[in-house]
Structure formats: C-alpha cells, structure tokens
Amino acid sequence: MQSCLVAVGGLLALGLAAPGVAQPVSLEVALARTAAYIDTFVERFGNVVSEERYQQEAVPAIRAGQLGGRGAMASVPPTQKRTLRSDFLLVKPDGSLDWFPFRDVYEVDGSVIRDREGRLAKLFLRTEEPVALDRARQIAQESSRYNIGDVIRTINNPVIALAFLERSYQQRFTFTMGKADPALGPTAWVLEYKETQRPTLIRGDGDSNLPTSGRTWIDLDTGRVLKTEFIIEAPSITARVTAVFTPDSRLGINVPAEMIEEYKPSAGGRISGKATYGRFRQFAVRTAEEMQEPQPR
C-alpha cells in the first residue's frame, strides 16, 4: 500500500531553557526576526540554482510467507538504492508572495536523462506567473517519480520547513521557546512548533490533513535559520525531514548544505535519504532571449 505526502501550500511541545542560560529575547521578537530573515532568504535565494546529490535507500518490509522453513529467508525483496543528481531551485513568480521549491532531476544512477541548461533557460525566461507555476509543478511531479520506495512524496526538499516561519504562515502554528544549542553557535536557540489550523499545509491520501510538528534552530540575534526539522505522524506512516544550513558570503544568507529524510510505514520497512548541496549559481536575464550564468558560488 502506498502512502502519499504532498506539500500543497506555498508553504508545540513545551521547552525549557538550558540551566544557566537566560532567554535573551521574547518568543515574539524571535519570530519577528525569523520572519524578516525568511523574506530576505526568499528574495536572495530565488532564481539561485544549486546542484543536489541525493542518495536514497528503501528497505522493504518482511511480510507473511517470506520466511522459509526453520526461519530461513525466502523471496525477500532486495533493498533498493538510488543516486539522483538534480538542479534544485526556488521559483518566485513576479508579483507573487508565494515561492515554490522544486528539484529537476538530470541524472539517475549515473545515467543522464535530460539536457540541463536548456530547461532552466526556458523556465527562467518565461516568468509569467501561470507559466512559471505550471512548469514548476510539472517538473516537480516528473522528478518525484524517480524516488524509490512505496511513499509518493514531494516534501523531500531542504527548504520546505522555512515556509512555516513566514509571517503569513506563523499564525497556523503554535510556537514555544525551546533551549539554547551552543553546538550551533553562541546565540543559537531552538523554536518548537505544532501546526494547529486546518486544512494543513501538507496533505495525505484522499487530501487528508497531516499536521506538522518539529523544531527550528535559529540565531536569535539575526533570525537566521541554522537547522530545521519537521515530523509527520499519520496512521499509515511517520516521516521526519531534517535540513542543515550554512552561511554563503556572496548571497548573505544561510543556504542548504544537507537534508536527511526518513519514512517508516506502519506496514514495516524503511525509506531514507541524504542529499547534499553545492555549486550555487544565479541566473540573470540580460535581454529577452539571452541568459547569463555568473561564476559558481
């Protein structure tokens, strides 16, 4: 049985400060600084393309009838593995407040499946909102078919949890201050959250609501996001996606460095993945028909 986890939006537990570490600002100030940073992130990361190397593994469930005599294994499906190489982008149509992250797969297990730059040029040159959104959705759906395992998903991207921190979406969640995390920096702090409004931003089978909860690590001084984690617990599956961000001096923001995902269907088995990001570059339109690609970041 397949499970479905699809992001449809543009997209708390109580926490106590660590002993001896005073909370430097209020929750309201922390959320306001983070929302302002997300605005900056979307503005600067829009039209930035990164190369993604994405390794997936699907361990099948052992079902009745797959055990031979005296416990010997019989006809157990093998573990699947796959490596994808993709362009990862944010599309922000002109005049729109929404932004849409997606991946465009160009290589599967070492085999090239499409021309890279031609498709990017077409997407960025045609920036009218309906065209850009339609193309982004089509490409995202096309690329999702290369995922392995019995979980249909488009939530496996490193920036999806940033949408929860946008000013317009914060009201959908209950936030609480967690604790300091000096391992991520002297002013790193955890915000914990739980989605409370319906319909939820992420939907499941039959358009069912899948409320999200999790944690976000932020720099309290700047609002910069250092790490995100979101969890979905549904009757048929538990999903966890974690992303780590690192500073990019040229863009002046923290960009995705790594994403780790794990899905545990209730029927058994496990799907996991790890993606890394690099070669950040920004496309700029010079004329109506010419694209300029600056040096990689």
Tell me, yes or no, whether 26 lies in a domain.
Answer: yes
Tell me what pLDDT residue 151 has: 86
- Between 288 and 215, name the one with better pLDDT: 215
Structural domain includes residue 3: no
Residue 129: what pLDDT? 55
Q: Which residue has the higher pLDDT, 44 or 68?
A: 44
pLDDT at position 15 over 70? no
pLDDT, average across residues 165-176: 96
Query: What pLDDT does 128 receive?
Result: 57
The answer to whether position 294 is within a domain reads no
Tens of pLDDT, residue by residue over 238-259, are: 999 999 999 999 999 999 999 9
- How distant is the alpha carbon of residue 19 from its chain centre? 32
Q: Is the pLDDT of residue 39 over 60?
A: yes
Model confidence at 287: pLDDT above 60: no
Classify 189 as helix, strand or coil: strand
> Widest CA span of the chain, in angstroms?
72
Please give the pLDDT value at position 89. Answer: 86
Residue 234: Cβ within 10 Å count: 19
DSSP labels, 37-52: HHHHHHHHHTTEEEEE
Q: Name which residue leads in pLDDT, 170 or 74.
A: 170
Locate tokens 């005049």: which residue?
95
Q: How does pLDDT run across 102-148, given as a tens digit for each residue?
A: 888 999 999 998 877 666 656 655 555 566 667 767 877 888 899 99
> Poorest-confidence range of 15-24, 79-88, 170-179, 188-197?
15-24
Judge whether 163 lies within some domain.
yes
Q: Which domain holds residue 263?
A: 11-284
Band of residue 154 on the pLDDT scale cut at 50, 70, 90: confident
DSSP state of 71: G
The candidate with the shortest Cα–Cα distance to 261, out of 288, 296, 287, 237, is 237
Count Cα neighbours of 28 within 13 Å in the Cβ-side half-sphere. Answer: 0
Share the mean pLDDT of the chain: 83
Mean pLDDT of 75-100: 81
The separation between CA 69 and the C-alpha centre of its own chain, rounded to angstroms, equals 44
Looking up tokens 């720099």 gives: 219
Q: Look at 88-102, 107-121, 193-207, 214-228 and tell me which has the smallest mean pLDDT.
A: 88-102
Q: Is the pLDDT at 78 greater than 80, yes or no?
A: yes
Q: What is the pLDDT of residue 134?
A: 75
For residue 72, is pLDDT > 60?
Answer: no
Distance, C-alpha 141 to centroid of its chain: 15
pLDDT bucket at 296, cuts 50 / 70 / 90: very low
Number of domains composing the chain: 1
H runs (alpha helix) in 99-232: 117-125, 129-144
How far apart CA 171 and CA 90 sit, in angstroms, is: 23
Residue-by-residue DSSP string for 231-286: EEE-SSEEEEEEEEEEEETTTTEEEEEEEEEEEEETTS-EEEEEEEEEEEEE-EEE
The pLDDT assigned to 269 comes to 93
